[in-house]
């Protein structure tokens, strides 16, 4: 079987054979792969022109719905991927992380559409006033780069590694060329075949290079983005290539790191936290056979608890059955390839020069349901290093398999220093029920970590665990970990967009951003905005309301109705030393009265008011003040119908500007409403 490349709209073989592929469990040769001879300049240009043009025309709402449709499709056919995933050495749990975890990334990123405008581009932050009279302002927008995201992925997560990346760049409106590890590219290829066959993504949005990919980044430009997951050494070489520097190509490096797990001093034997710690570390050693960039490599324990942890952890590791994942009872499969076995063994032998193995054996271990001489099997190895400040190889040598080292610390400061010796990690965990200790550790260790997990009995049942990056949180880390940042919700999407400052009159900036900017033209709405359907509303159109003079009776009545008898509203004798000159109207009365002024009471397209954002009371309102409202269409956000019976509607944000008899603003708020569409088919 020849694993193919999907390029230029077709499935293509590369020239010759670059690599023979083997089943990690049986050692059986079941195919080959090559990307030799591919025209990478044309591949990248095809993505930019074909896929990029289509994606950039779509709004965030449309891209999000497309990702959701893809996720729903893939979850329905997920079982297609499990049997082939086993060939990578993965157990059912390992495969679940890779397959369903990857699809979960699509769902999570699809949900981000609700946080973006109904536009192809993003409006970033708030306007900046830049002139005395407000006729000249600045703002920022972010537009999709007119390039391609080139993803160079590692062997350990052939599906998750691809989906967690493409979900983000597609949401941003940028196409991708994916180059998985050639060793496990067969599983990525199967997933891509299903994606392409679904026709959910526009053509050119996703291309696949299955082989070695030599030359894949030779033709990148400053509009392209490269992401690399793998060894720090390889990543740095690629990042430092002259044309990458010359073109200022964004390069996101996420490298394997020497992550730590710390047992808090309070988590002694007999506490739930001690048991949680042992279970968590054992899981990190054995899940994916330790082939995770986030796996625990350094186990930090109070020195008085070293023997207890070593005994408990060794006993738990001894219960781990290694073998064919199809065999009942097997809890740890094989490494991905025999080459990985050689590499891990080499690094274990290097570590053995400074520290002792206290559990496991490189040669003598049992394998269930398979031949360990044919498959890529490896025993869990637990080292002990009693002097981590002098025997420092453990802080620089990573055996990318089921290998970890136990080491002592005297106090929290020393634990932080040991963590720092790793020179930058993707993740560190601390297991403690002492929140003061947790706070101190997190604030001291955060500068060297991309993520910190604080684990205890209160959250353990629902915790996603040390080794699980989550799509709405950033994944990456400083120093050795590469200095990159992936995922992270909106943050991840913005990596693929260009931030541009825009300057001009508020009316012009309003037209560009499709958000009303203070100082822009405010044409009077006719009819009232509550009489208009979603499609009929225009950004900036305004209702100028009747006015109301506030009385002491208003203040007293509102206090009686609300139960708010705060002294500033009800006791004029208590105002000395305050900012108030006399009894002041409740801010919420002012807002409520504003609603009474701007609401059109008759039934119309407005379905409901469901929230208030950014409410501020900017000037005291005393009895005798006269207030009015400028009620302005601020922003419109399309909503999809949940089903055929759902009402077609959109979200409209209205700016509520409450002003007094002097024309000065006394209160500001953004009201969110659901408004029916004129066209109920959409």
Q: What is the mean pLDDT of the chain?
A: 93
Per-residue pLDDT band at 237 (split at 50, 70, 90): confident
Helix (H, G, I), strand (E, B) or coil at 6: strand
Residue 603 burial (CB count, 10 A): 7
Name the active-site residue from 265, 293, 485, 486: 293
What pLDDT score does 553 carry?
95
State the architecture of 40-254+491-497 in CATH terms. 3-Layer(aba) Sandwich (3.40)
- Whether the predicted pLDDT of 679 surpasses 90: no
Residues comprising the chain, all counted:
682
What pLDDT score does 636 carry?
92
Name the active-site residue from 182, 254, 273, 284: 254
Burial of 277 (0-12, 13-18, 19+ CB in 10 A): buried
Catalytic status, residue 644? no
Helix (H, G, I), strand (E, B) or coil at 467: coil
Q: Name the residue with tokens 């991840």.
A: 492
Rounded to an integer, the average pLDDT of 592-610 is 92
Q: How far, in Å, CA of 201 to CA of 203, rounded?
A: 6
Residues 346-385: tens digit of each pLDDT? 999 999 999 999 999 999 999 999 998 899 999 999 999 9
Q: Whose CA is closest to 671, among 612, 615, 616, 614?
A: 612
What pLDDT score does 610 carry?
86
- Whether the predicted pLDDT of 391 surpasses 90: yes
Helix (H, G, I), strand (E, B) or coil at 577: coil
Q: Whose CA is closest to 424, among 387, 396, 405, 456?
A: 396
What pLDDT score does 266 carry?
94
- Whether the predicted pLDDT of 223 surpasses 80: yes
Catalytic status, residue 254? yes
What pLDDT score does 557 carry?
95
Q: Whose CA is closest to 99, among 83, 114, 111, 110?
A: 83
- In sequence order, which residues have a C-beta less than 8 Å from that of residue 122 and are 6 or more positions away? 60, 116, 141, 142, 143, 493, 494, 497
255, containing H or E segment:
strand 251-255
At the top level of CATH, which class does the domain 522-676 belong to?
alpha beta
Q: How is the chain split into domains, by residue range?
A: 40-254+491-497, 259-470, 522-676
CATH 2.60.40.1080 is the classification of domain 259-470: no
């Amino acid at each position: 079987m020849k694993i193919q490349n999907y390029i230029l709209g077709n499935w293509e073989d590369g020239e010759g054979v670059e690599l023979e592929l083997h089943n990690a469990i049986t050692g059986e040769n079941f195919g080959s792969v090559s990307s030799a001879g591919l025209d990478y300049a044309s591949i990248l240009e095809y993505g930019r022109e074909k896929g990029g043009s289509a994606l950039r025309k779509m709004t965030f709402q449309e891209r999000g719905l497309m990702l959701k449709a893809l996720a729903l499709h893939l979850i329905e056919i997920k079982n297609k991927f499990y049997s082939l995933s086993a060939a990578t050495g993965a157990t059912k749990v390992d495969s679940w992380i890779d397959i369903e975890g990857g699809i979960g990334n699509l769902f999570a990123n699809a949900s981000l559409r609700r946080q973006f405008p109904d536009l192809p581009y993003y409006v970033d932050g708030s306007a900046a006033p830049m002139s005395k009279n407000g006729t000249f302002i600045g703002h920022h927008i972010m537009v999709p780069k007119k390039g391609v995201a080139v993803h160079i992925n590692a062997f350990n997560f052939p599906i998750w590694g691809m989906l967690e990346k493409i979900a983000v760049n597609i949401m941003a409106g940028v196409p991708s060329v994916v180059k998985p590890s050639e060793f496990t590219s067969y599983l990525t290829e199967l997933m891509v075949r299903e994606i392409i066959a679904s026709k959910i993504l526009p053509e050119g949005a996703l291309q696949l290079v299955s082989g070695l990919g030599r030359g894949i980044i030779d033709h990148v430009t400053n509009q392209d983005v490269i992401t690399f997951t793998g060894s720090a050494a390889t990543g740095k070489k690629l990042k430092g290539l002259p044309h990458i520097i010359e073109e200022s190509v964004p390069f996101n490096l996420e490298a394997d790191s020497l992550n730590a797990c710390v047992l808090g001093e309070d988590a002694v034997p007999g506490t739930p936290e001690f048991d949680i710690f042992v279970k968590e570390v054992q899981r990190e050693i054995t899940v994916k056979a330790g082939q995770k960039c986030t796996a625990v490599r350094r186990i930090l324990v109070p020195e008085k608890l070293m023997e207890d942890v070593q005994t408990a952890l060794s006993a738990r590791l001894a219960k781990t059955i290694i073998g064919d994942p199809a065999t009942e009872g097997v809890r740890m499969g094989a490494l991905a390839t025999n080459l990985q076995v050689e590499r891990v063994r080499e690094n274990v032998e290097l570590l053995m020069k400074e520290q002792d193995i206290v559990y496991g054996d490189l040669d003598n271990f049992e394998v269930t349901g398979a031949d360990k001489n044919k498959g890529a099997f490896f025993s869990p190895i637990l080292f002990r290093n009693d002097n981590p400040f002098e025997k420092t190889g453990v802080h620089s040598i990573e055996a990318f398999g089921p290998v970890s080292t136990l080491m002592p610390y005297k106090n929290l400061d020393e634990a932080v220093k040991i963590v720092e010796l790793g020179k930058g990690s993707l993740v560190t965990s601390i297991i403690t029920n002492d929140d003061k200790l947790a706070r101190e550790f997190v604030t001291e260790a955060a500068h060297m970590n991309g993520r910190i997990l604080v684990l205890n009995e209160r959250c353990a049942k629902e915790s996603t665990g040390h080794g699980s990056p989550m799509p709405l949180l950033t994944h990456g880390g400083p120093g050795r970990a590469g200095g990159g940042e992936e995922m992270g919700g909106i943050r991840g999407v913005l990596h693929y967009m260009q931030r541009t400052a825009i300057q001009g009159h508020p009316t012009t900036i309003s037209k560009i951003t499709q958000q009303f900017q203070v100082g822009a033209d405010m044409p009077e709405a006719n009819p009232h905005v509550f009489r208009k359907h979603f499609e009929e509303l225009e950004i900036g159109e305004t209702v100028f309301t009747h006015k109301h003079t506030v009385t002491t009776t208003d203040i007293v009545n509102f206090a009686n109705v609300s139960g708010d008898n705060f002294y500033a509203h009800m006791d004029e004798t208590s105002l000395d030393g305050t900012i108030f000159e006399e009894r002041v109207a409740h801010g919420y009365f002012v807002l409520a009265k504003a609603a009474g002024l701007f609401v059109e009471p008759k039934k119309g397209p407005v379905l409901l008011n469901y929230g208030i954002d950014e409410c501020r009371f900017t000037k005291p309102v005393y009895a005798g003040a006269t207030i009015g409202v400028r009620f302005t269409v601020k922003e419109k956000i399309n909503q999809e119908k949940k089903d055929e019976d759902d009402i077609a509607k959109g979200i409209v944000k209205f700016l509520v500007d409450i002003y007094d008899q002097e024309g000065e603003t006394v209160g500001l708020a953004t009201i969110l409403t659901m408004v029916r569409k004129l066209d109920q088919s959409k």
